[in-house]
Structure 1
Amino acid sequence: MSVSTAVVITLLCLCSLYSTFGQDCPSRKEIQGTLKQVQKLLSAHEASYTQSLRNLKKKINLLQSSAAKQTTRATNTTCPKLDAPVNGRKLGRSQNVGHEVHLLCDPGYELVGAESRVCQESLTWSGQQPTCRDINECASSPCMNGGTCADEVNQFSCVCAKGWAGATCQSPVPTFFVTMTNTSAATSPAAAATLPGATNGPFVRPSRCTIVQGTTHCTCEPGYTISGRDSNTCTDIDECELFHNGQAGRLCLHACVNTAGGYRCSCPVGYDVTRDGRSCKDIDECATRQNNCTKDQTCINTYGGYQCVRVDCPKIPNATYVKTSPMRCERNPCPVDNKACSQTPNSFSYHYLSVVSNLSAPRVMFRVSALRPMGDTLRFSLLGGRQVRRHFTVQRSDRLTGQLMLVSPVQGPATLEAEVEMSELEDRMQLGRYITKVTMFVSQYEF
């Protein structure tokens, strides 16, 4: 039964009651006026009901669309695989949103572009892919005395002009000879002969003597010299001793070994001699699998060796941490009423650096940046005691980035650890803390 029908019935009932009590029944005009008001009321309710249905349909459509997006995102919550640059390598394997990947170049190459990229919420990597550019070792004109430089990967070689030798053509080639008058020589002006000489081991050779017009000329092979007054005997030249502190510099970067008629350079354990025969290059035991690190350890190549490291999440009261990548631990969500838990660090990240001994300072060693700052202020600070602050400090490079600075050289071998804390603040209230632990392995040598 409709509302209008009910109203009519009600009016009729009232009319009957009026008759029963001797009162006049409402006129037809009054009834029609009442019915019009009821009709307007019904139209208003119908319009409101229709609008409510439309709004409900819109909300349902929005919920369905949101659910579809969340379903799509749940199936793909990682950025695409990021390759290392050519002639370079990548540190970090996680492709999850918010995680950072560091990019490095192989020895002999320099990085052009960003040192790190971050997986963004749009499931794309921040910035552009950097490249590794070959370092031109000949740019500094290392070859001396007219030598020609040939650039090679992570090294150079010199083609020396006549009369010069050495890795950088820094050493003159010795030429030794004596002139003696031989009164018993043949009277013929063109008479010539070669005098025999005795030899005694590889470090002693016979000289080469020629008699021309009564005069004897004796010479030695390269790397040998006339021994005293005996013009028939040549002895080895100790180039390592002769050119040890010369103006042109040492023959070898590390150690020089004298040989018969020459010399060779040697390097300490963990290094190989470069193609120029003078310098030393580090052996990457991690890349060549010359290490004994276990599966639960990470191999970190160092200058002259390697380190096997294992990252375990810290155990802190009132909070628990889980490893989200091989070098990162994040705090599990805290209960709402647990204030002590919310004051603990949100995450710990671990990084390892390998440097040479006596590295020049000041120098930027590491940068820490905020990915998505939530507060209005970022604060960077260095944690640790006097020993850490003796060699390190923290400076701000821009509003979102702090950098760990080496302020004094470190004599190796040594291992230094520094902790950089980044705090997020909102109206001076702490929102979060993030700890970055940087371990620096300092080699024994400076090359």
Structure 2
Amino acid sequence: MSVPGFATALQDRTNDLLDRCTRCGACFDICPMTGPAGIADAPAGATVGGVLGLLSGGATTPAAERWAATCSGSGTCIPACPEGINPRFMLSLAKLALARRADDETRRARGHAAFRAMSRGVQVLSRIQMGPQELARFSRDEAEGPAPEVVFYTGCNLLKTPHIGLLCFDILERMGVDYKVMGGPGDCCGVLQFRTGDLEGSERIADRTAARFGRFKASRVLSWCPTCQVQMSENLLPGRWNQEVDGTRYEMEAFVAFLDRHMDRLRLHLVHPVQKRVGLHEHPGIAGVGAAAERILRAVPGLEFVDLAQPKVGWMCNTLQPLPQYKADIHQALLEAAAAAGVTTLAGVYHACHREICSHQRDWPFEVVNFLELVGESMGISHEDHFKRLKMLQDVDAIVADVADLVALHGLNGAEVRTVVMEALLSEQPLALRGPASREPSPSSHGDQR
């Protein structure tokens, strides 16, 4: 039995959604994005009806299109639906319908351009931060020998902040977890093509990755990236991969949730006190991850956890990109809350958030880290955050000079390195830094939204 086609499976799921949705509006009423999007006063039922119109090819409304375009994937709507529908998936389908208004050639070209830009950014930024030995740790393992306990799936853009991935590997090894690694652009989840409406390209890329997961015969795939988690487990696999037939017997689980679930194994290695006052920047899109990160931090000896009481929206900061001023305001409020709370450390969970916020360490009286750096500190594990160090230089010439040895070692093109530094490192700054060295956000920031 073959795997059903992606477009066919999506249409079947769309038809089911259209049959079951009662247009009660509960998902719209609870959505945290309607206010920032300027549609909070729109009638809930009619707006949901407009979304269904997008899915069925019928009539829609401006508010429905705006709602779909600004959905950040927070997931607060999912438990609110009395019919058991996943409204986040409904809005993903609506975004897809908007993207598919373009012709086939345009959709393919946009998907290809987004993938090419992402791949170039990953290749260059990873290599100007790591030597060959560290870089090799991110290479895809071969699916041979006994099944590992887990497959660790880096996704693509984690390699832009490699210290986070290296910490993940070291923590798993210290806990005695047998794991294999997959990731990088060659193991993409296909989300960039999905967002541009290129279903054929998305299916081809994601199916190849899903099949590779299965070859390891591990029961669990640990995802780092929440975008990959949603794309694979919410958009791609449901309704398509029959585990009784194709052998893909695995579940996807967020890495942070896995650590929390194995707290008994992790806690044994949290032995060094970390005398820091820590606030956490979190997102609710992958259910339970924020609470898991908090529990892990509270288990670190000596660490004082501070609840910054900030809004929790999206699954990473870059899902707020359709509302750039709102995102800048969110970042400003977060930094101000951290300063007012007197924290020594502002810790984030995800890689994309870290890329956007880390350089603010230059201007505020606290460090900005990924929370795994604190876990690693308690375990006696550390990896330098070269991304933050380079970004805080805020000068392309200084950065290029700093990484010249690695550029030569990897045989990179100097002009391409300079372009990537500008487009994929310095320009990813939603909230401008303070002082004369700050730079305004670039219109091209977050082009791949990963």
TM class, shorter-chain normalised?
under 0.3
Higher-helix-fraction structure: 2
TM normalised by structure 2 equals 0.20
TM normalised by structure 1 equals 0.20
Higher-strand-fraction structure: 1
State the structure with bigger RCO (CA 8 A, min sep 6), 1 or 2: 2
